[in-house]
Amino acid sequence: MKRLAKTALLASGLALAAAFAAPAFAQDAINLPNLSYRTGPFAATGIPLMNGQRDYIAMLNARDGGVNGVTINYEECETGYNTEKGVECYEKTKAGAAVTQPWSTGITLQVLPKSNVDKIAVLAPGYGFSPMADGKTFKWAFNPPSSYWDGASMILQNISQGNLDSLKGKKIALLHLDHPYGKEPIPLLEALAAKHGFTFLPIPVGLKEMQNQSAQWLQIRREKPDFVLMWGWGAMNAGAITEAVKTKYPMNQFIGIWWSSLDGDLKLVGDAGKGYRAVSWSVPNSASKAMQDIKKHVVDAGKSMINQAEGEFDWVFYQRGVLISMMSVEAIKAAQAKFNVKVPNAEQVRWGLENLDINEAKLAELGMEGMIVPFKTSCADHTGHGGAWMLEWDGKQFVKASDLIKPDRAAIEPLEIEKAKEYATANAPWPLNDECK
Amino acid sequence: MLYRTAGQFKTTYEADHALFPVRQDAILLGIILVVAWVVLPLTANEFAFKALLVPVLIYTLAALGLNILTGYAGQLSLGTGAFMGVGAYACYKIITIFPEVNLLVAIAMSGFFSAAVGVAFGVPSLRIKGFYLAIATLAAQFFLVWLFEKWAWLYNYSASGAIQVPTIEMFGVVVAGPNAKAITQYYFVLAVVTVVTMLAINITRGRIGRIWKSVRDMDIAAELVGINLMKAKLSAFFVSSYIVGIAGALFVFLWRGAAEPNLFDIPLSFRVLFIVIIGGLGSILGNYLGAMLIVALPVVLSYLPGALGIPVSSSMVEHLNTMVVGALIIFFLIVEPHGLARFWAVLREKLIIWPFPH
C-alpha cells in the first residue's frame, strides 16, 4: 500500500514536471497537431475524419519518407468536441505547430483571436465561420474549399435548377443544430428568402434533443415544407434520418450539408434512405492511386485505426479526411518551395495556405482525380469557393448525382464583408492584413 | 511534532480570535501564498497558466460560492452553471455598453446581477427543502440557458450566438482578450480569488456564518432561538450567487475568451458540485483541494503516458483519464466520506504526535 502510494506520488510528480516544463520539439520534422475528437457525442462523425487525416500522413511518411524528405509528426490531442479541452489542447500543441485545426466552431471562435497573436494559421476546411473567407480581415484563418454560406447557396441553386426565383411561394425548412455551427447559414438564408420570396423556417435541434427529434419532425409534418435542409452533426444526423424515414418525409426533398453525409448514419436505414442528398466538396474514389497507396502502405500494413468490417475505407468522411490532410501537406510543399527551407515555420505555412492551387493537373499528379473540387486561394480569398457536387444515397453508398455547382458569389460576398467587418469592430483592435486589396 | 500547539499561549482576545490561531497554520498559509504569488509565476509556462493554474483558481471560486449555499447554509443547488452564465453575460453587456469601465469594477458589478437572479430563484427555498429545492434550482438552470440562447440582445445579435471577449486594458496593461499575457491574467484571477477567500473565511466564521450553520443543522431549532429563516436563506443565496457570478465572469473573460450558451449547461453545474462534495461540504480549503482533483488532475494525468514513454493514442489517454479520475473520486469518498478537507484535518491530527504515536 505504502509503495503503491509512493509510486503514484512519483508518477504524478513526473507528470506535473512534464506539464510545467516547456515541450521540446525535434526540429527536423514538421509538426501537424490536430484537435481531434474520437470521444463524446460527436465521435461517430469525428472518428472517420481523423482516421483519414492520420492515414494520409502515415502513407506519405511510409511511401516518400514524408514531404520532400522531411517526416511529418501527426499528433492528435483529444478534445471530445469540448471547448474547455479545446483551449487546453491548443495551448499544449501550439509550440512548433505548422498549422492548427480546431475542429469545432466553438473552439474555432476561441482560437481565432489567438491566431493573430500566436501567429499560427487556423485550417478549418469546410467549417468555421463563413466570413473567414475575407482574407483581409482574417489573416490567419482558412476554410477552403467552400464555406457554409457557399453550401447554402449551392443547395438552393440545385433545388431550384439554377433559378432561385422559381422558389417563390415555396417553404424551405432548415433543421439545424442549436449551436454556433448550426446557426451559420441562417443570415444568408434569411437574406435570400427576402430577396426571392420563399418562406424560410428554421427548426432548431437542441444539443440535448439530438437523438429524439420527434417534436421537430411533428412540426415538419404539420408545416409540410417543400424542402428540408439539414445542418446536423454527430448523433443528430442519424436521429434526423431515422425520423424522416419514420414520418415518411420524401427523401428527395431532404438535403444535408457536407457534414451530414456520414455513410454509417444512412446505413441504419438502408434502402429507405434512397434519394437523400448531401452537398459535398469531396467524392470518395477508392480506386484512385492515392487511396490505393494508403491501402497498401497503411491499411494492409495494419497501421490504420479504421473499422474495416464496416467498410470505413470507402466512406465519404474517411476520404474527406485524407483530402484535408492533403491541403495541409500541399501548403507545406508550397512553403518549402517558396522559402527554400526544409521545415517551414508557421508563418511560411500560412503563405502556403494562401497560395494553394488545387487544380485538375495537381490532383492527377497526387492521384486524386475528381475527389475534390478544384480551388485556388489568394490573399483576399481564404476559401477558394471551389463549389461542390450533390451526393445521393443509393441505398448502399453515396454516389455523385450532379455536375459541379458553383455558389452565387454575388449574393454572398457583400454579406461576408459586412459580417467580417462586424467581427473586427466587435473585437477591436483587430489587425487587418493590408497587403491584400 | 510538526503541529504541536503546546506552548502557544493566547494572552489577548485579539490573538484568540485570529484567523489562524495555530502558528503552524499561519506559517503554512504564508508558504502557500509565497508559492502562489512568487514561485509559480516564476516557474510556470503559458500552458501551465492556461490549463492548470487559472482554471483551478476559477473553479475554486465557483465552488466556494456553491459551498456557502450548500455546505454552510444547507440549501442544495443545481443551478451553479446558469448563475455563472448570468455573471458572464452581465459582464459582457457592461463591457460592451460601457467600454471605459474598469474590468475589475465590471466583474464586481456583474456579481450583483447573478446575486439578484440567485435570490429570485432562492425564494422557493422558504417553502421547500432538500431534493425539492434542487429541482427548483434545476428549473433556473434550464430557463437561464434557454434565455442565453434566445435573447439575442445578450450576445449583441452576433450570428453565431456566442460572446467574444474584446481586448481590455487596465491601467495600460492588457488584462483580457487575445493579447493578454497569461501571467497578467493569472495575477488578476489570483488577486480576486485571494480577496474573496479572505472575505468568505470571515463571513463564515462570524455571526452570519453561524446563522447559516444553525439553519443547515436544524432550521426549526434555529427559528425557535430567534433566527429569521427568510433572511438567513436569502442572504445565503445572495452571497453564494454573487461569488458564483464573479467566477462566471472570470471564467469567460480571463480564461476562455469566448463562450456559447450551452457552456453554462448542467454539466458545468455538476462539475462545480463535484468539486464541493469531494473537497468537503462546509469547508473553504476543500474547494481548493477539490478543484485540484477535478480540474488539474486530468490535465496532469494526460501527460503521464508520454512522460513514462508509453505509446498510447490521445483518445485512449482520454478514456483512461476518465476511468482513473472516476475511480479516484470513488476511492476518496469511501476512504473519507466528508471530503478532502476532512482528509487534511485527519492528517493534521496525526502530525501533532508524529513521529511518536504513543
Position A17 confidence tier, pLDDT thresholds 50, 70, 90? low
Per-residue pLDDT tens digits for A234-289: 888 888 999 999 888 999 899 999 999 888 888 888 888 888 999 999 998 888 88
Residue A436: closest CA among A133, A73, A183 = A133
d(CA B278, CA B340): 6
Mutate one of A109, A111, A231, A418 to test the B interface: name it (highest B CB count within 10 A): A109
* pLDDT for res A437: 66
Asked if A184 and B262 come within 8 Å (Cβ–Cβ), the reply is no
Same domain, yes or no, for A243 and A206? Answer: yes
Which residue range is the domain that position A394 belongs to? Answer: 149-282+390-410
Indicate if the pLDDT at residue B178 is higher than 90.
no
Predicted TM-score (pTM) of the model is 0.85
Which of A22, A78, A116 lies nearest to residue B314, judging by beta carbons? A78
All three cell numbers of A233, joined, read 452533426
* pLDDT for res A24: 46
Instruction: Give, in order, the Cα–Cα distances in Å from A46 to each of A37, A39, A77, A177, A264.
Output: 6, 8, 13, 16, 12
Indicate if the pLDDT at residue B83 is higher than 90.
yes
* pLDDT for res B335: 85
Kindly provide the ipTM of the predicted complex, given to two decimals.
0.79
Which of B159, B164, B300 lies nearest to residue A16, judging by beta carbons? B300
Largest pairwise CA distance in chain A: 78
**A231 occurs within a structural domain:** yes
Place of cell 485505426: A305
* pLDDT for res B328: 85
| Partner B contacted by A119 (CB < 8 A) | no
Place of cell 445578450: B154
CA quadruple B222, B227, B231, B236: dihedral, nearest 10: -50
Indicate if the pLDDT at residue A3 is higher than 80.
no
Cβ-Cβ contacts under 8 Å, B160 against chain A = 105, 109, 129, 180, 183-184
CB distance A124 to A108 below 8 Å: yes
* Residues in a beta bridge with A174: A202, A229
Rounded to the nearest angstrom, the minimum Cα separation between B60 and chain A is 16
Rounded to the nearest angstrom, the minimum Cα separation between A423 and chain B is 8
**Binding-face residues of B in 305-324 toward A, CB within 8 A:** 306-308, 313-315, 317-319
Per-residue pLDDT tens digits for A125-178: 888 888 888 888 888 888 888 889 999 999 998 888 888 888 888 999 999 988
Same domain, yes or no, for A397 and A355? Answer: no
**Binding-face residues of A in 1-40 toward B, CB within 8 A:** 11-12, 14-23, 36, 38-39
Arithmetic mean of pLDDT, B136-148: 91
**A19 occurs within a structural domain:** no
Same domain, yes or no, for A185 and A210? Answer: yes
All three cell numbers of B48, joined, read 501551465
What value does the mean pLDDT of chain A take? 86
Same domain, yes or no, for A289 and A268? Answer: no
Arithmetic mean of pLDDT, B280-295: 90
Position A2 confidence tier, pLDDT thresholds 50, 70, 90? low
* pLDDT for res B19: 79
Same domain, yes or no, for A350 and A399? Answer: no
Same domain, yes or no, for A272 and A396? Answer: yes
Phi first, then psi: give them for residue A393, nearest 5 degrees.
Answer: -85, 125
| Chain B residue with minimum CA distance to A21 | B45
Cβ-Cβ contacts under 8 Å, B262 against chain A = 179, 207
Asked if A113 and B257 come within 8 Å (Cβ–Cβ), the reply is yes
| Chain A residue with minimum CA distance to B255 | A87
**A437 occurs within a structural domain:** no
> Do β-strands B168-170 and A357-358 pair in parallel, antiparallel, or remain unpaired?
unpaired
**A125 occurs within a structural domain:** yes
Cβ-Cβ contacts under 8 Å, B55 against chain A = 84
Asked if A180 and B319 come within 8 Å (Cβ–Cβ), the reply is no
Arithmetic mean of pLDDT, B36-44: 87
**Neighbour tally for A162: CB within 10 Å:** 11
Same domain, yes or no, for A57 and A205? Answer: no
Residue that wins the pLDDT comparison between B4 and B205: B205
Same domain, yes or no, for A249 and A272? Answer: yes
Indicate if the pLDDT at residue B91 is higher than 90.
yes
Residue B169: closest CA among B113, B83, B95 = B95
Domain ranges of chain B: 39-264
Same domain, yes or no, for A293 and A355? Answer: yes
* A200: CB partners within 8 A, 6+ apart: A172, A174, A189, A190, A192, A193
User: What is the DSSP code string of B291-318?
Assistant: HIIIIIHHHHHTTHHHHHT----HHHHH
Per-residue pLDDT tens digits for B64-77: 999 999 999 988 89
Same domain, yes or no, for A399 and A422? Answer: no
d(CA A296, CA A290): 10
**A434 occurs within a structural domain:** no
Indicate if the pLDDT at residue A353 is higher than 70.
yes
**A208 occurs within a structural domain:** yes
| Chain A residue with minimum CA distance to B174 | A429
| Chain A residue with minimum CA distance to B162 | A180
CB distance A384 to A375 below 8 Å: yes
Rounded to the nearest angstrom, the minimum Cα separation between B124 and chain A is 27
CATH number at residue A322: 3.40.50.2300
Q: Which of A1-10, A358-367, B242-251, B296-305 has the highest mean pLDDT?
A: B242-251
Query: Percent of chain A scored above 70 by pLDDT?
Result: 94
Mutate one of A104, A110, A115, A184 to test the B interface: name it (highest B CB count within 10 A): A110
